[in-house]
Amino acid sequence: MTPPEGIMPMSIKNLRNSSVATVPTLLDLIRKNRIKNQTIHRGHILLFANIGAGMNINAIVYQY
């Protein structure tokens, strides 16, 4: 089941699997308004999760 569009920003469609670089790349894309309908503001709490090639799994909770 695919989540409704706009619920979770994703970069894999355009950038493919960038493994451990996915989280900082996604944050940068959102901050620069390069992902449609996604914005963050000071005080927001962000949850990032990704699975990369070769058993890399990342989950990060970040307050912007």
If you write DSSP's letter for every residue of 39-52 in order, what string do you get?
---TT-EEEEEEEE
Q: How buried is 9 (Cβ within 10 angstroms: 0-12 exposed, 13-18 middle, 19+ buried)?
A: middle
Residue 8 confidence (pLDDT) above 80? no
Q: What is the pLDDT of residue 37?
A: 86
In whole angstroms, give the CA distance from residue 25 to residue 27.
Answer: 5
Entry pTM: 0.68
Kindly list the domain boundaries of the chain, sorted by start residue.
Answer: 12-63
Phi and psi dihedrals of 35, rounded to 5? -120, 120
Pairing of strands 56-63, 45-52: antiparallel
Residues 13-31 have a mean pLDDT of 81
Residues 28-37 have a mean pLDDT of 90
Quickly state the pLDDT bin for 15 (edges 50, 70, 90). Answer: confident
